[in-house]
Amino acid sequence: MMALSWAFDLLLAVGLIWLAWQTLFGHHRFAAVVSFMVFGLLMALVWVRLSAPDIALAEAAIGAGVTGALLLSALGRLPRHPEPRHLLRPWQRPLQLQALAAAGMLAVWLGWVAHRLPRPGLAREVASDLAATGVAHEVTAVLLNLRGLDTLLEVAVMLTAVALVWSLGPALRSFAPATALPGLPALTHLLHPLFLLVSAYLLWRGSHAPGGAFPAGAVLGAGGVLLLLTDSVPWMHRERYQRRLRALLAAGLMMFLAVALGGLLITGTFFAIPTPLAAPLILAIEVATALSIALMMMAFYLYGEPGR
């Protein structure tokens, strides 16, 4: 059984390397996009093998879903020129050869660093402080309590990226009429309750197992992009709703800052959450952040659309 497991993992690794090569150096753009989407699905399987189903769901939703849809949309708007049949191989192009060599050296260095990491890491220290964090799982405790400032800055970077894309995008308009994609409206309305259910489950799971705001927001955002493709959320295009949309986009960051500043006022330490209030405050942060992340993904897709 162990040999079969190792053989499966080896086959999975070889498949990932081959798909990555086809994505980067394939001769046909559409085949490269499809290879990228299949790569995302296989990466989701890798995360399942590593006992991280929450990250697997996020990888499938973002890597194979939303990013694949973005690439297909971009591909459909490129000039319809015939693709060259004879291209130089990567090792025949000096710049790509240098990039491959640099990536190989980086991979070797990262492998050496991973090998040098202490074992079992900081698991013992995290476990000793878990009772004071307000949650029952180490991952959520680290992300939203022990290193909550890092997570706050990650949300701030995402919101800044949305603002940048928004500033470069076209005027508000409908993304794509439902009639342009036959069958998609029915499929979207069939799948959307499932997206909502999985997102709610990941949020609930985050308090005692791997899960939480980021994978929940990613899955919810993937469902939201499907709704955009069928023009099922017309309020996002309307000027009168833009103030409300901006407030929802910033809700996660604002909740983070409110809790951090509240901890400063109560305890004298920035982001120090009193233990009796930790559980409800972390739940509020998780819900607000998941909603913001989902809307950020939808905003990336909607406002990153080039003008016609």
Output the tens digit of pLDDT for each of the chain's 308 residues: 677 778 888 888 899 989 988 888 777 888 888 888 888 888 888 888 887 777 787 787 777 777 777 777 777 777 766 655 555 555 556 776 777 788 889 989 988 888 887 766 677 777 777 777 777 777 777 777 777 788 888 899 989 988 888 777 665 555 554 444 556 677 677 777 888 888 888 888 776 666 678 888 888 888 888 777 776 676 776 777 778 888 889 999 999 899 888 888 888 888 877 878 877 888 888 899 999 999 888 887 776 554 44
Q: Where are the domains of the chain?
A: 1-78, 134-308
> Strand, helix or coil at 65?
helix
Look up residue 122 and give its two tokens.
């900081």
* CA pair distance 217, 293, nearest whole angstrom: 5
User: b/e map of 182-206 (b: 16 or more CB within 10 Å)?
Assistant: eebbeebeeebeebeebbeebbebb
Q: Tens digits of per-residue pLDDT, 63-101?
A: 777 777 777 777 777 776 665 555 555 555 677 677 778
Helices marked H in the chain: 2-25, 29-49, 53-59, 67-76, 94-116, 123-129, 138-141, 148-168, 184-205, 213-229, 242-249, 251-267, 275-303
Asked whether the beta carbons of 209 and 137 are under 8 A apart, the reply is yes
Consecutive H or E run containing 45: helix 29-49
Consecutive H or E run containing 300: helix 275-303
> Is 304 buried (19+), middle (13-18) or exposed (0-12) by CB count in 10 A?
middle
Q: Tens digits of per-residue pLDDT, 206-256?
A: 766 666 788 888 888 888 887 777 766 767 767 777 788 888 899 999 998
Consecutive H or E run containing 228: helix 213-229
